[in-house]
Amino acid sequence: MRRAGGRGSRPGHGSDRRYRRPVTRLDLLADPVDLCAALVDTPSVSGDEAGLADAVQAALGEQAPHLEVLRSGDAVLARTRLGREHRVLLAGHLDTVPIADNLPSRREGHLLHGCGTSDMKAGVATIAHLAAAVAQPRHDVTFVFYDCEEVEAERNGLGRIERDHRDWLVADLAILGEPTNAGVEAGCQGTLRAEITTRGHRAHSARSWLGDNAIHAATPVLQRLAAYTARDVDIDGCVYREGLQAVRIAGGVAGNVVPDECVVTVNFRFAPDRDAAAAERHVREVFDGFDLALTDLSPGALPGLTAPAAAEFVAATGAAPSAKYGWTDVSRFAALGIPALNYGPGDPNLAHTREEHVDTRQITEAVDVLRRFLS
């Protein structure tokens, strides 16, 4: 699940490769819960996934000899070539948000605590285990372990793979192992960010009548936000709840100056019945009359559950699908015309929190469901 877009979200640059530690050995065929703990204890903050990518690549080479393996930057891809009628793609990102005093991992009954447990090393463990464990799957399978999902869209490893190895992304269904509490979350909402700038005229605050206060001028922007009523949209039985929120406000020059600029940054999360252009049009209407600059726009994805392979997988889970709220790379596959859904262990509400953890029973359940689907 992607972290903040926009500025300032570039933690680390992966420049320490000269000092890389020896490759961690991962046992893909062990209990996937143990595998998850081993993945969590190999830190891989966005930009610093090289060590973990090395470990995954080495483990696949050694423990899954039936797979063709490809390295792309700090992503590792693997696939069967069994000539099956359908191909399923299972994908998970290797990177995490910055560590928040929550490593190494720690077990407490059924819970495994630590950075990345939920988002999404539990999903990566599930997928990596199946890569080694199911040597003769019913469908051909492509496994994608990629880098830089938690940062700006232009750094996303899946985007690089799409540019450099487009043939590796061909599939009839893509399943992203993002945290969904081991239920199918279909499609995803789109996300738009914009800066609304109000302007005024500087003056010394002791002679404020000579100025024009840009912060005061932002009042109607906040009024419109506070009064905004968000839609709930039902698509294929999945309800998407939209939201329009100020995520930042900044204005001010000095303690004695009437400020001449104030910027309100808003984030619009929109249901996939709006495309990118419609989402932009809507936000511009809401803030009609104001100077609005778009800073980030990622389209959503329709649920796509009517595709046969998707319907088959939903049936294998034995539960009703629901809407995905967070933006995920599902929309990237949707844009490539590949039906895609989110399915993985872990609570999405714990993603990016200091208290991040996963209920290990969900890992076991997800492995069982996917194994059934593939066997």
The footprint of a copy of itself on residues 123-162 (CB under 8 A) is none
CB closer to a copy of itself, 247 vs 293: 247
The reply on whether position 326 binds a copy of itself by CB under 8 A is: yes
Token code pair at residue 42: 């190999």
The reply on whether position 274 binds a copy of itself by CB under 8 A is: no
The reply on whether position 289 binds a copy of itself by CB under 8 A is: no
The reply on whether position 79 binds a copy of itself by CB under 8 A is: no
Angle (nearest 5°) at CA 172 between 351 and 61: 70
Q: Which of 71, 166, 199, 204 binds a copy of itself (CB under 8 A)?
A: 204
The reply on whether position 245 binds a copy of itself by CB under 8 A is: yes
CB closer to a copy of itself, 128 vs 203: 203
| Contact yes or no for 37/7 (Cβ under 8 A) | no
Q: Which of 113, 193, 274, 357 binds a copy of itself (CB under 8 A)?
A: 193
Neighbours of 24 (CB within 10 A): 16
Separation of alpha carbons 80 and 139, rounded Å? 9
Separation of alpha carbons 168 and 219, rounded Å? 51
Quickly tell me which residue has 């200091």 as its tokens: 354
| Contact yes or no for 87/137 (Cβ under 8 A) | no
Q: Least distance in Å: CB of 325 to a copy of itself?
A: 4
Count of CA atoms in the C-beta half-sphere (13 A) of 366: 39
The reply on whether position 195 binds a copy of itself by CB under 8 A is: no
Q: Which of 61, 65, 104, 252 binds a copy of itself (CB under 8 A)?
A: 252
CB closer to a copy of itself, 77 vs 258: 258
The reply on whether position 207 binds a copy of itself by CB under 8 A is: yes
Q: What is the dihedral of CA 63, 66, 69, 74, to 10 degrees?
A: -30
The reply on whether position 256 binds a copy of itself by CB under 8 A is: yes
The identity of residue 40, as a single letter, is V
Collapsing DSSP to helix, strand or coil, 373 comes out as helix
**Residue 173, H or E segment:** strand 173-176
Question: What secondary structure, in 3-state letters, does 320-354 show?
Answer: CCEECCCCCCHHHHHHCCCCEEECCCCCHHHCCCC
Token code pair at residue 15: 């420049």
Catalytic member of 49, 140, 147, 149: 149
CB closer to a copy of itself, 194 vs 309: 194
Q: Which of 87, 269, 274, 332 binds a copy of itself (CB under 8 A)?
A: 269
The reply on whether position 103 binds a copy of itself by CB under 8 A is: no
The reply on whether position 251 binds a copy of itself by CB under 8 A is: yes
| Contact yes or no for 331/93 (Cβ under 8 A) | no
Question: Catalytic annotation on 149?
Answer: yes
Separation of alpha carbons 349 and 120, rounded Å? 12
CB closer to a copy of itself, 34 vs 261: 261
Q: Least distance in Å: CB of 247 to a copy of itself?
A: 5
Number of residues that bind a copy of itself (CB under 8 A): 58
Catalytic residues: 95, 149
Binding site for a copy of itself (CB under 8 A): 2-6, 9, 189, 191, 193, 204-211, 213, 215-219, 222-223, 225-226, 230, 241, 243, 245-259, 262, 264-265, 267, 269, 296, 325-327, 348-349, 351-352
